[in-house]
Amino acid sequence: MDNKIYFVDQTLRDAQQSLWGFMMRTDMITPIAEVMDRVGYRDIATVGSQAFTVQVRNLDEDPWERIRIVSKLIKNTPIRGSYQIGSLSSFDLGTPRDIIALWIKRSVANGIKGFWICDYQEDMEKFIYFARIAKAEGAEVVPSLMYTSSPAHTREHWADKTRRLLRARDCIDRIMIEDASGIITPEGTREFVSIIQANCEGLPLEFHSHCNAGLAPLCYLEAIKSGVTTLHTAIAPLANGSSLPAIETVLKNIGRLGFTSDINEDALQEVSAHFRKIAEQEGLPLGAPVEYDLFHFEHQVPGGMISNFKRQLREVGMDNRLEAILDEAILVRKELGYPVMATPYSQIVSVQAMEHVISGKRYEQITDEVVKYALGYYGEPVVPIEANVMDKIMNYPRTKEFLNWKPEGYLKTVEEFRKELGPELSDDELLLKVLIPGKPPSKAKPKGPPAKTAAPVADEPATGGFPSAFDVEVEGEVFRVKVSPVWNGEKGSSMSLQAVAADPFAPGASLAPRAGAIFCGMSGLVLSIEVKVGDAVKKGDTVAMIEAMKMRRHLGAPHGGVVKEVGAKPGDIVAPEDILMVVSEND
């Protein structure tokens, strides 16, 4: 038996996603990249398309430039990216096929050597289609088997999932066992690995688990004793909490069990010290072990989603409802046939649960993704959806729009997109424009930390220290919002925050209610406005689409009437209290 264990480093991807919300800048990576290359990792993971949005909107970076820079500094260790077969930019099924194919090709051209495919293998035809493109580009393909626990997830279920993957045996290099919720136990690890091994035809196995329940370090030891050869870890400052186990601790433990590795511990110590210093300088959290919480095994909501819930609830003044949402997620998951609590299913379940708790009514509003899930577009549920819930979904007004649904423009070619968006765009620029509406990436090289600015000098009276700019976090993305004082013309007046008549719809501003106002009701990005001034709308008609928590949500008119004003446009970032439009109410 080969006792050597290999490591995939998740510091630059999953670890910083879990603890730092994707806010790691390129200038935090470049000074230590060459040292990371000497550590002896099997692969170094980097962020995929979901994080590109944060890089463009919040860090003002070109994500492709980061990959190019880092791949030039990390010359010996393969850099692993990722993609999904359904969508690159949100948790739905809408990204056109040729855009995903171009994404794979441009990723490799910019320096990616392999891909983690984070899907649940429900559509093997699509899986194979994109995997063959990746292999033709010379990249490794590592699909993940997403672990979950429920009465429906039996030994035979997991054996079948593994055998299904083997339909793509000619374009798979290894299989990654992933426990996104951090709920697998040491005993469960032994059983799960044995099932996969019995059905994977000798493909090497990787193990990736999060520390949400504090068990992952123990499970890693059981995994390697059971035959796993590669572990996913992070350096200690970005480990534990909702992140992955610390490689420093795992190394000590596997050594006690008689396993070896090629890790250069001196280089590893240097990398760890670098990111600890970054965390201290930037005020970013350091990972810490968490206590065992039985409730986590019941709801199984990943840690990153819980952070999103906390932000959303603060925005609508319902900070005390988190536990109620998690309790509701348990019930919604059961009703929907026990989907795996990993992307995109954890979002489908959890956002619907949040709708129930905030509105106080179950299934009165149903997200489009729940409708698509019920109609089988995400694959067949492990067990049938409960009959009473299925009836509610099938009788929901929007459901009929999805009965023969196909993603809009799914077969649209890259050249069609280029003609529409700009023939002068490079492939990389085109992909960013398609996937991240509203803000073009900076064409400059990645910058360092934002400069601290001195207090502004103005002709107006002093503000008494009241801040004029705020960093507002929305869905893990940070936006700079500036607030200007409104003065009554008298010196010594106190600052007041109020709506400005000349610009009553400024995104981010809190506005006084007005007759016929339709509020956004959620924080997010406006993707489309479905009506224009003068249109007649009925109660329930879709008036806009907003991306919130990385899911596209249709906003229905709460009343009928005629559209008098439209105050937002695609690309705007909005808050729950912002007025989207004014519709004169029918008598």
DSSP class per residue in 81-137: EEE-SS-SSSSSS-S-HHHHHHHHHHHHHHT--EEEE-S--S-HHHHHHHHHHHHHT
Q: Which two structure tokens, joined as six digits, stand for 329?
A: 């997620």
Per-residue confidence (pLDDT) for residue 347, from 0 to 100: 87
Q: Which has the closest alpha carbon to 334: 352, 308, 314, 322?
A: 352
Per-residue confidence (pLDDT) for residue 379, from 0 to 100: 87
Per-residue confidence (pLDDT) for residue 491, from 0 to 100: 33
Q: Which two structure tokens, joined as six digits, stand for 320?
A: 């005390």
- Cα separation values, 6 from 47, 95, 190, 210, 261, Å: 20, 34, 19, 18, 6
Token pair 């999953």 in the structure block, residue: 14
CA distance 42 to 539: 56
Per-residue confidence (pLDDT) for residue 2, from 0 to 100: 75
CA distance 552 to 356: 17
Secondary structure element (H or E) that encloses residue 143, with its range: strand 140-146
Q: Which has the closest alpha carbon to 230: 414, 128, 421, 80?
A: 80
DSSP 8-state symbol, 454: P
Please count the other Cβ atoms lying within 10 Å of the Cβ belonging to residue 7. 24
CA distance 95 to 86: 6
- Biggest alpha carbon–alpha carbon distance for the chain: 83
Sorted by sequence, the CB contacts under 8 Å of residue 209 that are 6+ apart come out as: 178, 179, 182, 184, 215, 216, 219, 220, 232, 244, 245
Q: Using only C-alpha atoms, what is the Rg of the chain? A: 25
Fold (topology level) of 469-488+496-585: OB fold (Dihydrolipoamide Acetyltransferase, E2P) (2.40.50)
Q: Which has the closest alpha carbon to 244: 254, 253, 234, 252?
A: 234
Helix segments in 406-528, DSSP class H: 414-421, 427-435
Token pair 């709801």 in the structure block, residue: 299
Token pair 């996104």 in the structure block, residue: 180
Token pair 């890790």 in the structure block, residue: 263
Give the CA-trace dihedral at 427, 428, 431, 432, to 10 degrees.
-150
CA distance 223 to 193: 7
Q: 3-state class of 269 per DSSP?
A: helix
CA distance 430 to 374: 33
Q: Which two structure tokens, joined as six digits, stand for 179?
A: 């426990």
Q: Which has the closest alpha carbon to 427: 51, 61, 104?
A: 104
Q: Which has the closest alpha carbon to 63: 413, 347, 439, 422?
A: 439
Per-residue confidence (pLDDT) for residue 445, from 0 to 100: 53
CA distance 410 to 188: 40
Q: Which two structure tokens, joined as six digits, stand for 132?
A: 């063959």
φ, ψ of residue 82 in degrees (nearest 5): -155, 160
Q: Which has the closest alpha carbon to 566: 523, 531, 521?
A: 531
Per-residue confidence (pLDDT) for residue 500, from 0 to 100: 30
Please tell me the total number of residues recorded for the chain in this structure.
Answer: 587
Superfamily for domain range 6-282: Aldolase class I (3.20.20.70)
Domain ranges, ordered by start, for the chain: 6-282, 300-402, 469-488+496-585
CA distance 425 to 417: 10
What pTM, to 2 d.p., does this model score?
Answer: 0.81
The pLDDT tens digits along the chain (587 residues) read 579 999 999 999 999 988 988 889 999 999 999 999 999 999 999 998 878 888 888 889 999 999 999 999 999 999 999 998 888 876 667 789 999 999 999 999 999 999 999 776 678 899 999 999 999 999 999 999 999 999 999 999 999 999 999 999 999 999 999 999 999 999 999 999 999 999 999 999 999 999 999 999 999 999 999 999 999 999 999 999 999 999 999 999 999 999 999 999 999 999 999 999 999 999 999 999 998 899 999 999 887 677 767 766 776 677 788 899 999 999 999 999 999 998 888 889 998 998 898 888 999 989 989 999 999 998 889 999 999 999 999 999 989 989 988 888 889 999 999 999 999 999 999 999 988 876 555 554 555 554 433 333 333 333 333 333 444 444 444 443 433 333 233 333 332 222 233 333 444 444 445 788 998 877 777 888 999 999 999 988 889 988 766 566 778 888 999 999 998 888 787 877 788 899 987 65
CA distance 72 to 542: 48
300-402: CATH number: 1.10.472.90
Sorted by sequence, the CB contacts under 8 Å of residue 71 that are 6+ apart come out as: 79, 110, 111, 112
Q: Which two structure tokens, joined as six digits, stand for 181?
A: 């919720």
Per-residue confidence (pLDDT) for residue 175, from 0 to 100: 96
